[in-house]
Amino acid sequence: MSMMERVLELPDQLRWGLDLEPQTSKPASSVLLVGMGGSGMAARVGKLVADSGRVQTAVYQGYGLPAWVAESKPHVIAVSHSGNTEETLSSVERATDLGLPLSVVAAGGRLGDIAADVGAPFIEVPGGMMPRAALGYQSAAVLRLLEGAGAIADPRPALEEAADIVSVLLGSGDGAGFRLGADLAEGLAGRIAVIYAPAGVGSLAASRWKAQINENAKMPAYANEMPELNHNEIEGWGTLRELTQRAIATVFLTDPAAHERVRLRMRLTVDLLDGMLPSAGSVVAQGRSSLARLFSLIAVGDVASVVLAEQAGIDPTPIPVLEAFKQKLAGP
């Protein structure tokens, strides 16, 4: 399947989560999600949804685990599409050493074996695709595990809402969101994308936009969130005017459910940057649940990143630099 076919498959991937078997575990008092890159994005989706609930949830992306876990004893949910990512395996090793409750999302690999060895709840996601192309599967699996650990309410209504909205947005490559993504790609072509969004739903979507432009289009992209960027980054656009006008294009992701002061900040920031930086355009989140709003923004960005690649004659699927780097790290 091509990367664009994977993008169009997103609603089906989210719906796949509706039929997963319940994986009930001991109710968690806190949850720590671990995972890197494309899989780390699914971990962050889990935290975003859990943040509106009552169980404290964090994401950790690195080796081992933070020191506080020895005291708090969180339920650790490890997400790795390959099941072989060394940072994630290192976190899982630390979790098992400490006897922390563990759940796993993977398409197989070492992580799948560890889950079987220790009898951890394990959701096996479909393999045979790049990790970033499996975001719908992985997010749905993470949410069902969070549900099983009592950290969130039944996520199926939100998964259905997200799938329905994304389905309409993308159509079969002819929906309004698909066309918007293609238009935004025109404005971003040959430029460094700077994606601005409100903290929360918008900010997580902006991170996905950035990573998808990096990996699919093999182009630089940067993301930042409001209100934080209003305390530093906007001061930096005034001086290298000639360079930034030529090299950068902004995309604004907006969320009607963001805090009203953040929405005001967004409007003021758009006005401030008008004439300073070229803008490729904006995307407005749709939906009631945070999950639907998130994926409504992600879907448009996924399209934009693949169209950017195609327009530049770049194959969006392979990631030779990342692969070569992993090989060097593994040693001779």
Residues marked as catalytic: 215, 231, 326
Toward ligand PA5, which CB reaches closer, 39 or 296?
39
Amino acid identity of residue 216, one-letter, is: N
Toward ligand PA5, which CB reaches closer, 13 or 82?
82
How far is 46 from 66, CA to CA, in rounded Å? 19
When asked if residue 6 is in the footprint of ligand PA5 (CB under 6 A), the reply is no
Strands 248-254 and 279-284: parallel
59 SS3 class: strand
When asked if residue 130 is in the footprint of ligand PA5 (CB under 6 A), the reply is yes
Report residue 172: phi and psi, to 5°. -105, 40
Binding mask 133-152 for ligand PA5 (x = CB under 6 A): --------------------
Q: Which of 13, 57, 80, 296 binds ligand PA5 (CB under 6 A)?
A: 80
How far is 214 from 45, CA to CA, in rounded Å? 19
When asked if residue 88 is in the footprint of ligand PA5 (CB under 6 A), the reply is yes
Q: Which of 3, 8, 14, 36 binds ligand PA5 (CB under 6 A)?
A: 36
Q: Which of 8, 32, 34, 38 binds ligand PA5 (CB under 6 A)?
A: 38
When asked if residue 17 is in the footprint of ligand PA5 (CB under 6 A), the reply is no
Q: Which of 9, 10, 39, 197 binds ligand PA5 (CB under 6 A)?
A: 39
When asked if residue 91 is in the footprint of ligand PA5 (CB under 6 A), the reply is no
Element (H, E) at 131: none
Using CA atoms, how far residue 124 sits from 28, 36, 59, 76, 111, in Å, is 21, 17, 20, 16, 10
Interface residues for ligand PA5 in 144-203 (CB under 6 A)? Answer: none
Using alpha carbons, select from 47, 49, 52, 103 the residue that is nearest to residue 75: 103
